[in-house]
Structures are given as C-alpha cells and as structure tokens.
Amino acid sequence: MKLRFCTVPVTLLLLVFWINPTPASAHFFPNITSIPASLIPNTTIWDAFNALDGCRKGVKADGLAKLKKYFQLFGYLNNSYDNFSDDFDDYLEKAIRTYQLNFNLYATGELDAPTLKHIVLPRCGNPDVVNGTSTMRSGKPSNRYSANSTIHTVAHYSFFPNRPRWPPGRTRLTYAFLPENQLSDVVKGVFARAFERWSEVTPLTFTETSSFYGADLRIGFFSGDHGDGEPFDGVLGTLAHAFSPPAGRFHLDGDENWVIDGDFLNSSPMSAVDLESVAVHEIGHLLGLGHSSVEDAIMYPTISSGTRKVELANDDIMGIQELYGSNPSYNGSDPTLTPRTEWDTSGAPRVDYLLWRRGILLVVELFSLLLFV
Ligand SMILES: [Zn+2]
Ligand SMILES: [Zn+2]
C-alpha cells in the first residue's frame, strides 16, 4: 500500500491517472537469447552503490545522499527525513541495520560487501517498512526466528497495515490490461498463469475482462513517472509495484527486458527479468500480502535478474490462507511451519487460539447433549 498515495482524495487521483498515464510500449522477449545487445546496459541505477563498500558511521562519501534516498524509497528512512547529504549519520546506520535484519544479513549497521550485494539487486517497488513499522523480520520477535532450521521455521509472511483484503463476498475477481499496452495473448497468458498460482490455494478466482476501468485488478506497463508518485527507473532497479486491496492497481516498468518464457538455466544477459516471477509476487500485494523475510518466498522483495521463481512457498500459502482460507481442493500443508498468528504481537486475533477455543466449546456442547439424551 502506498500510504502517501492513499492520503490524496480519490477524485484527484483519478484525474492524475487520466491526465498522465504514460503507458509504455514494453519490451517482451520469448527467451533470454532474443534480447538485442543494444538493450543491455553496462550499468544500472544502483550499481554505483558498490563504491560505498566499507562506509560506516562518521564518514562522508560521494553517493551516500543517493543511498539515503534509496532507503527512504523503501521505508527505511522516515518521509520527514530530508538530510540527503553524503554524511553517514545515525539515521542511516539505523536504516542499514533494519535492512540487514529484514534480509537475514549480519546487522552491522555498516555498508559491508554482503549488504551492498543485496542493495543493488532488482526488486519490488513496494516499501518494506510502512509508517516506520517493518512488517519483515526486523519488526518481529527475533528469538523465535530460525532461518536455517529445516526442522521448524517460523512463518514470516506479512500484511499491509490494518490487514486490508478483498471482502468475503467477493471471491470472483476480474482483471484487465491497460488497452494502450496492446499486449499479445502470449503475454496475457503469463499473467493468467500467475493468477492461477494464487487461486490454486485460495477460494479466489480471477477472470480477464476487457473493461479496464471496471475491473477489480488493473495491470499496466509504464515508463518513468506515471502519475502515482512512484516513478519507474529504467532497466533493473525497481521492476514493478502494486497496491493493497481494494485499490487493485498493478504497474510494471515498461523499460525492463521482460522475458516471457523464463528458461534461465544459463542466465545471460543478467538484465533479463522473468515476467511470471514478478507477476506472481505483485499479485500477492493485490490480494493483501506484504513482504516476507523468507528468501524462498514469492513475497521476498528482491529477485536476482536472470532467475525464475514462480512457485508459492509455504510461507506465501500460509499468509494468503490466513486472509482468505484455503481452496477446498487444496491439500497441501507443511507441519514444520508455525503460523505467524501463534506469536503475533500486533493485537490482531490469534486465529489458532480462536480455533482451539472453538474446538473446546464444541466438545463441551457435545458432552452436554449426550448427558441430556
Ligand atoms: Zn513487493
Ligand atoms: Zn505506479
């Protein structure tokens, strides 16, 4: 959810959207070898951050101001923070530490090589920290986390603030593509497959409609500034973003080299981005999921270019089923994963406890019934 966006009156938003849609004629390639060399950049927007290796609190270095903007973009620095100097201050150190916790890195608060390697990865444009609260690992009780455990792993899925979801009576959602993008049936088929991943595990269904502004979910490719305050940045960097329910907006960066048949076994060039992988992730946002610290999860914020990740992880499935319940024909389960609700400290109802209490009441009622018969 883009909270800054949501504070603006809806009518004004619609006006902006109509005036300045800037749809992109996006690049699609059947496979990675069909991308022409001229479209493969030598560097991308965040590569320059690699020069900041070794920077720590107290130093001044060219590029730290840009890095602060990066951290503000993803919620790690408050929106009121405006000290975009090249000084490494306390706020930047705190932002880096939070980022490191979220991405399962050593929380050194310094720009070490593993942290920078992660910072430059292409990623989703949705923030990891909303209104100062991280929904990822750094915002969770650390003593229950066991990232490397194969025996018992705590789930790390998250929701947007106030847990917005599509209402219970609306399980049949429609989606449409921005007409100006003129997408081929093959490209549309990629999105259909991505929707299918989520409908397999929930009672939700997704049907394409030709009415763009009448659809629940609206998909469009855009370049640069496209009127919602979250401009795209060219090849790599941010790849896409999507809004929480019931906004239904799903925007993709038209400047990426989108690959529609993601056979990435010998991944080169590295600027290729698998469309289906990104679509599955962003649909998670459209349905109400936030980012997860579980690296295998679809809702993990970064994806290495030249890789494909389309299978929902148990973390994703447990998250989406907490919002919508399961698809009656879905049998999958993972007994090694503890539902997040077991240790949720947010004040939200503890689903497992409620179910347990309901079970006890049922047994008591049955017992009373037997006594009277
Ligand atoms: Zn995301
Ligand atoms: Zn957008």
Question: Per residue in 6-44, pLDDT tens?
Answer: 333 444 444 444 444 566 678 888 777 777 777 777 778
Nearest ligand by distance to the CA of 282: 1
Average pLDDT of the residues in 238-255: 97
Average pLDDT of the residues in 70-85: 94
Average pLDDT of the residues in 192-219: 97
The band of 207, judged by pLDDT with boundaries at 50, 70 and 90, is very high
pLDDT at 102 over 70: yes
**Please, what CATH class does the domain formed by 1-40+146-336 belong to?**
alpha beta
Cα distance between residue 340 and residue 322, in whole Å = 9
Active centre residues (catalytic): 282
Measured in degrees and rounded to the nearest 5, phi and psi for residue 176 equal: -145, 160
Cα distance between residue 39 and residue 271, in whole Å = 9
- Going from the Cα of 128 to the center of ligand 1, the distance in angstroms, rounded, reads 8
> Which has the closest alpha carbon to 285: 273, 274, 297, 295?
297
pLDDT at 249 over 60: yes
> Which has the closest alpha carbon to 315: 347, 281, 346?
281
CB hemisphere CA count around 154 (13 angstroms): 18
The identity of residue 16, as a single letter, is: V
Q: What is the mean pLDDT of the chain?
A: 81
- Going from the Cα of 369 to the center of ligand 1, the distance in angstroms, rounded, reads 51
Cα torsion 102, 108, 114, 117 to 10°: value is 70
> What's residue 336's pLDDT?
45
> What's residue 64's pLDDT?
97
Residues whose CB falls within 8 Å of the CB of residue 22, separated by 6 or more in sequence, listed in order = 222, 223, 224, 225, 226, 227
Q: According to CATH, where is 3.40.390.10 located in the chain?
A: 1-40+146-336
pTM of the model: 0.81
Annotated binding residue 233: yes
> What's residue 215's pLDDT?
98
Residues 276-313 pLDDT 10s: 999 999 999 999 999 999 999 999 999 877 788 999 99
Annotated binding residue 228: yes
> What's residue 33's pLDDT?
76
Here the tokens at position 21 are: 């849609």
Polymer length of the chain: 373
> What's residue 268's pLDDT?
53
8 Å CB contact between 340 and 318:
yes
SS3 27: strand
> What's residue 256's pLDDT?
92
Annotated binding residue 226: yes
> What's residue 154's pLDDT?
65
Distances (CA, A) of 264 to 38, 305, 311: 20, 10, 15
Helix ranges (DSSP H) in 143-251 = 185-199
Is the bond into 269 cis (omega within 30 degrees of 0)?
yes
Residues whose CB falls within 8 Å of the CB of residue 183, separated by 6 or more in sequence, listed in order = 177
Nearest ligand by distance to the CA of 250: 2
Write out the residues surrounding ion ligand 1, Cβ under 5 A.
124, 126
> What's residue 264's pLDDT?
63
DSSP 218: E
- Going from the Cα of 242 to the center of ligand 2, the distance in angstroms, rounded, reads 7
Cα distance between residue 222 and residue 279, in whole Å = 15
pLDDT at 185 over 90: yes
Nearest ligand by distance to the CA of 17: 2
Using CB atoms within 10 A of its CB, is residue 330 exposed (0-12), middle (13-18) or buried (19+)?
A: middle
Q: Which residue is associated with the tokens 């929930």? A: 202
8 Å CB contact between 163 and 288:
yes
pLDDT at 73 over 60: yes
CB atoms within 10 A of CB 272: 26
- Residue 142 C-alpha from the chain's centroid: 22
Annotated binding residue 256: yes
Average pLDDT of the residues in 91-120: 96
> What's residue 151's pLDDT?
38
> What's residue 136's pLDDT?
87
Helix ranges (DSSP H) in 240-350 = 275-287, 314-324
The identity of residue 51, as a single letter, is: A
Residues 129-163 pLDDT 10s: 998 888 788 777 654 444 444 434 567 899 999 99
Cα distance between residue 231 and residue 238, in whole Å = 9
SS3 116: helix
> What's residue 361's pLDDT?
36
- Going from the Cα of 364 to the center of ligand 2, the distance in angstroms, rounded, reads 53
Distances (CA, A) of 344 to 134, 189, 285, 341, 367: 14, 38, 20, 5, 33
